[in-house]
A and B are shown apart, each in its own frame.
Chain A
Amino acid sequence: MDLRFDVVVIGGGHAGAEAAAAAARCGARTLLLTHRLDALGEMSCNPAIGGVGKGHLVREVDALDGLMGRAADAAGIHFKLLNRSKGPAVRGPRAQADRGLYRRAIRALLEETLGLTLRAGVAEGLERGVDGGIDAVLTGDGARIACGAVVVTAGTFLRGEIHLGPERQPAGRHGDPASLGLALSLAALGLPVRRLKTGTPPRLDGRTIDWAAVEPQPGDDPAEPLSWMTERITGPQVSCGITATTPETHAIIRANLGRAPVHSGQIQGPGPRYCPSIEDKVVRFAERERHQIFLEPEGLDDPTVYPNGISTSLPRDVQDAVIASIPGLSRARILRHGYAIEYDHLDPRALRPGLEVREVPRLFLAGQVNGTTGYEEAAAQGLLAGINAAHRAGGGREPRVLLRTEAYAGVLVDDLVTQGVTEPYRMLTARAEHRLRLRADNAGLRLTERGIAWGCVGPERAARHRAFARAVEDALARARAELATPAALALAGIPVNQDGIPRSLLEVMALPAAAGPALEAAFPWLRDLPRGVREQLETEALYAPYLSRQAAEFAALEREERLPIPEDVDFASIAGLSTEMRQRLASARPATLGSAGRVPGITPAALVALAGHLRRAHSAARAGAA
C-alpha cells in the first residue's frame, strides 16, 4: 500500500492532536497516526488543563485556533481562575475535565477538521531521502506513507519504563506499549537522547471516599471559559475536595523509603521539582507535618478520583497504607496504583526555532519528547510544529516563530532550543521577561492576526477577532485622547491633584480612586462598551505606567530577538570569541542575538563580537545583492 500526505503526525496526545489539526488548518493534507484512535486526547495524568502560566499557553493555543481550550470548555466539570486576587497578567484560567468527555471533544474536533485523516497504526520507522531528510513513514502493518514533513510526538513512549515499587515494565502510558520501533529509528538518526522521570498518584474510587470528612472546593460561578470563542460553560459542574497527609502518613513513607525506586537507585533520571513525589516531599521538607491533597473527580459518570499531591512509586502495599492514613480516605479503594515512569527525551537543543531537527530536514518534534511536561506545553509545541511542518511541506524555508516578547509559546520554544532542559520543563510566568504584556486575557490580540497570516485561523474566529481588535483599538485611542481637567474629575467624585493639568481617561483609569460609577459619570461612553473591550481598557490603564517605563528596554530586547544568526554561521571563524565562548555558542546554536545572550555563561564581550560579525555579514550580503 502506498500513500502520500503533505504532513504525517505520529502520536495522538495533546501535541499530536494540535499538530495534526494545525497542519490541516494551514491547508496541508495531513495524516494523524496513533496506536489507538480511542485514546486520542487522553489525559494520562491529572485531568486538569490550564493554571498559572499553563492557562496562558492554552489561551495562546486558542488564539491560533487550536483545540485545547474549546475541548476543555466542552468537557470541563470544575473551573477556577487562579490568582483571581492578583492582577490580570498573572491570572490563570484552569479547568478540570471529564476525561471521557475531553477525549470525545478532541476526537470530534479532529474529525471535523478538513484535510485531516485519522489512522490507527504503529510507526515503525522513518525513511530518509538523499538529503538526509525524512521522505516517508513506515508503519507496523507494512505501509509506506510518503510525506513532505513529519511531526513526531512520542510523549513518554520512547524506551518508557514504569516503576511501581520493585516492579518494572516497559510501557508508554499505562496499558500502552512502548514505541520500540520508532525509538530505534530515531536512535539511528543519532540525535542526542537523555533520560527523565515523572510520576503519577494512585487513582481512587470516589464512591469509597468519605466526602463529608474533606473540605469541599467548589468551582467558580460563573465559570471562566478557556477558549475565547466559548460564550459560557453549559456542562454540569462538580465540587472537588481538599484533604492532607498526616504524621502517620509520613511515618509510613519514612519506614519504607528503601523500597521506593527513586531512593533505592532503581530510577536514575531527574524528576520535576515542581511536581515531586510524596516520598520526595517527606524527605526534603521533613519539618512539615502535612501536605495538601486535592481530590479531583475524573468524570461525571466515572467514579475515578485523582488525588493531586501524592504522586508515588512506592510498592502497592505501602500505597494502600498511605491512602488509609489520610483523613477521608481511610476506606478508599485504590483503582490503580501510582507509578513513576522513566523515558527518553531528545535534547531539544538539536531543534531549530520552528521545532525542526537541525540535522534531519522535515522532521519535527513536539511535546514531552522534547523534555517538557504538561498537556499545555505539549499542545503549544504541537501547534507550532504543525504550522511549521505544513509550511515546510509547502516549500517554506524560514521557520514560523513567536518571539519571547510576543508569547509564552515563544518563551517555551526559545528556552527549549537554546537552553535545553535539566528536568521536565513546565511553564511558569516567572520565565517570561515581559509578563505584564503576555496575558491570558490578550492572547488573541497578541497572536490571532499572526495566525490569520499563517493560515491556521478559521474565518469565524478571524472575523470575530478583527471586530474585537478594532473595538479595543478605538476605545484605547479614545481613552488616550479624551482629557478631563482636575476640576471636572473632582466634580465627578474622582479626587486628583488640583494642579490644572488635564488627564487622559487612560491615566485616570489607573488611579485607585477611579471607581466604575464615578468614571462613567465623567466619561459616559464607557457605559456602552462591551464587557471584553472595557476590561482590555482597564487592564491597559492598570499596567500602562509600568510598561512605559520598561519601553526602552523592551525595544532593545525585541531588536536583539529579531537579529538572526544564520544557520550556517561558523562560530570558530568569528574573531574575538574565546574558545570557551565558541564551544558554548556552537552547542546551543542560538537562532538570534537575543537567544545568544541567554545562553548560560556567554559574556557581554562575546555578544559584542558576535553582533559585530552579524552586522558585517549582513551588510556584505546586502552589498552582494545590490
Chain B
Amino acid sequence: MDTIFALATAPGRAAIAVLRLSGPGSREMLAGLCGRLPTPRQASLRRLRDAKGAVLDEALVLWLPGPASYTGEDSAELHLHGGAAVVEGVGAALVALGARPAEAGEFTRRAVLNGRMDLTAAEGVIDLIEAETATQRRQALRLAGGGLAALSASWSDRLADLLARQEALIEFEDEGLPGALEREVAAGIEALAGEMAARLAGDVGGERVREGLSIAILGPPNAGKSSLLNALVGREAAIVSARAGTTRDVVEVRMVLAGLPVVLADTAGLREAADEVEAEGVRRALGRGEEADLVLALLPCDAPPDPATLALLARRPCLVVASKADFGGAGSGGMPAGGLAVSARTGAGMDELRRALEAEVARLAPGAGETLLARPRHRAAIRDALGWLAEASKAPLPELRADALREALRALGRLTGRVGAEEILDRVFAEFCIGK
C-alpha cells in the first residue's frame, strides 16, 4: 500500500493549508520532515526540513497513528502556511521520501475500505469528490487550448493511436499491414516523449503560480495611477495626491486575481523629469513596464493621450484604461480604441476592469488556474507516463513495447479518464483493413 498525500483545505491563497498524509510510511516520512515524532493526537509546532536540511516551513503537526484515524491507517496532518510555494515544497519533500499525491477520492476510498467510515458519512464525502471533479472539468474546459488538462487529453489521444498501431502489429501480423508501421510507432513515441519532457521542464504556468504575475500601472503624471491601485486593492497602499509626480519610486502590492497571486506595481508618471529623483523614478517605471507580464496603461480622459505611454502600448501586452471618466471628455482625440473607461473616485467601470484583468491573468498563466491539488498529481502522472514511454522506446519485444505504452496510457488516464481495450480496438479496425 502506497503512502499518499493531498491538500485537505481548498487550494489557493489562504492563511493555513492543511496537508494530509496517510499510509504505512507516514511515521517515517513525518519523522523525516520534522525530526522527532510529536505525541499522538497533540498539535505540536515543528520546523519542517527537506532531505538537504533546508527549512520548508514552521508548521503545526499532528501525528495520528492508525487505526484511529480518518483512513484507519497511520496518518499525519501538517498545518502549513498557506503559500503556494510552501505547499509545493513540502509536497516535493514528501515525494522524495516516497509518498505520492493521492488520486481523487483516495483518502475516502481507504477510509471506506478500512471500515472507518459508515455509509452516510461516505455518501457526504463522495458528493464532495464529485463536486471537485466537476469543478476540475469546468476549469479544464475554461483553459481549453492551453491548459495542461487539454494538453494531456491530446497526449492521451495520440498515445492511444500509437498503442492501437502497436496492437495491430501484434494481432494481425499476416494481414498485410503497412510496412513502415513499426518505424512510425517508434518515431511517434520519440516525438511524444520529447514534447512531454519539454513541457515538464518548462512548466511556465507553474512558475507563475509560485512567484505571482506582475502587472505594472503606467501612464502620464497625475493620470490617477495610485488612485486606481488603491481602488483595486481596496486600501490606501499608495500615497495619492492631486499633485503630479507624487509617486517617485515603484510601489508594489500583492493581491489575488482569478485565484492567482499578482504583484501590482504603481509607478512614477512618464514625463520629462524636473529633478534627479523623479528622473530615476521614471527610469524605473519604464523598466517595470518592460518586465511586467501585463501593463495597465492609464490615459486620463481630461487630457490628450501621452506619447510615452502610447509608445509602450506598441511594445508590451497592455490593457488600456481611460481614467478619470467622471471628469467627462472621454474620447478626446487620439485615445486608443477599446480602452476601459473607469473612475477610481466614483467606482464607475471598476468591475469591468477587474473582470478584464482576471481574464488577462488566466490567459497569461495557462494551466495555473487548475487547483494546486491537481497540479502535483498532473506532474506525477506525466512523469510516470514519460518513464513508460522511455521504457517503450527501448523495449526489446513488440509486446513489451505495447505493455509499456499501455502503462503510459494508464498513467495519463489518471488525468483524462481510462482508455479501455475496446477503444484501442476501435482505432485498429478504423485504420487498418483487418480480416482475411
Contacts and interface: CB of A to CB of B under 8 A. Distances in A.
B434 A273 contact: yes
Given A82-B173, A294-B436, A604-B103, A611 B424 contact: no
A13 to B, nearest CB: 21
Nearest to B2: A552
Given A575-B120, A611-B113, A615-B112, A604 B171 contact: no
11 contacts: A86-B170, A274-B434, A281-B433, A292-B436, A428-B171, A542-B397, A575-B120, A598-B420, A608-B112, A615-B113, A616-B118
B435 A309 contact: yes
Interface string B151-194: 00000000000000001001111111000000000000000000
Interface in A75-100: 82-83, 86-87, 89-90
A52 B169 CA distance: 11
B115 interface: yes
A525 interface: no
A611 B170 contact: no
A57 to B, nearest CB: 14
Contacts of A291: 176, 433
A397 interface: no
Contact of B397 (A53, A86, A308, A603): A86
Interface in B65-122: 103-105, 108-109, 112-113, 115, 117-120, 122
Given A52-B170, A83-B173, A611-B112, A576 B434 contact: no
B126 A83 contact: no
A609 B396 contact: no
Given A273-B434, A309-B436, A608-B105, A430 B115 contact: no
Contact of B122 (A288, A576, A598): A576
Given A291-B433, A608-B105, A619 B398 contact: no
A609 B120 CA distance: 10
Given A608-B105, A611-B109, 18 more contacts: A83-B170, A86-B170, A90-B398, A90-B399, A274-B429, A274-B434, A291-B433, A308-B436, A436-B400, A542-B397, A546-B403, A576-B119, A576-B122, A604-B105, A605-B126, A611-B112, A615-B115, A616-B118
Given A274-B435, A605-B105, A605-B130, A87 B424 contact: no
Interface in A608-623: 608-609, 611-613, 615-616, 619
B123 A608 contact: no
Contacts of A275: 435-436
Interface string A244-279: 000000000000000000000000000011111000
Interface string A556-586: 0000000000000000000110000000000
Interface string A415-430: 0000100000000111
B407 interface: yes
Interface of B: 103-105, 108-109, 112-113, 115, 117-120, 122-123, 126-127, 129-130, 133, 167, 170-176, 396-400, 402-403, 407, 420-422, 424-425, 428-429, 433-436
Interface of A: 52-53, 82-83, 86-87, 89-90, 272-276, 281, 284-285, 288, 291-294, 308-309, 311, 419, 428-431, 433, 435-436, 512, 542-543, 546, 550, 575-576, 598, 600, 603-605, 608-609, 611-613, 615-616, 619
Max count, chain A CB within 10 A of own CB: residue among B174, B176, B424, B425: B174
B46 to A, nearest CB: 31
B191 to A, nearest CB: 23
**7 smallest A-B Cβ distances: which pairs?**
A612-B112, A273-B429, A87-B397, A576-B123, A309-B436, A308-B436, A275-B435
Query: A86, A281, A543: which has the most chain B beta carbons within 10 Å?
Result: A86
B398 A86 contact: yes
A292 B176 contact: yes
Contact of B126 (A433, A550, A608): A608
Interface of B is mostly: helix
Given A292-B175, A292-B176, A89 B113 contact: no
B112 A429 contact: no
Contacts of B425: 428, 430-431
A353 B373 CA distance: 40
Given A430-B421, A604-B105, A611-B113, A288 B119 contact: no
Contact of A609 (B123, B399, B403, B421): B123
A550 B170 CA distance: 21
Contacts of B429: 273-274
A69 to B, nearest CB: 21
A509 to B, nearest CB: 14
B175 to A, nearest CB: 7
Contacts of A546: 400, 403
A436 B403 contact: yes
B123 A276 contact: no
B119 A616 contact: yes
A430 B398 CA distance: 12
A613 B173 contact: no
B171 A613 contact: no
Contacts of A550: 403, 407
A89 B399 contact: yes
Contacts of A436: 399-400, 403
A550 B175 CA distance: 31
A219 B40 CA distance: 72
A276 B400 contact: no
A52 B170 CA distance: 8
Contacts of B433: 276, 281, 284-285, 288, 291
Contact of A87 (B108, B173, B400, B421): B400
B403 A430 contact: no
A619 B119 CA distance: 13
A439 B229 CA distance: 70
A561 to B, nearest CB: 15
Contacts of A603: 130, 133
Contacts of A435: 399, 402-403
Nearest to B414: A604
A285 B176 CA distance: 13
B149 to A, nearest CB: 17
B112 A575 contact: no
A550 to B, nearest CB: 7
A87 to B, nearest CB: 4
B429 to A, nearest CB: 4
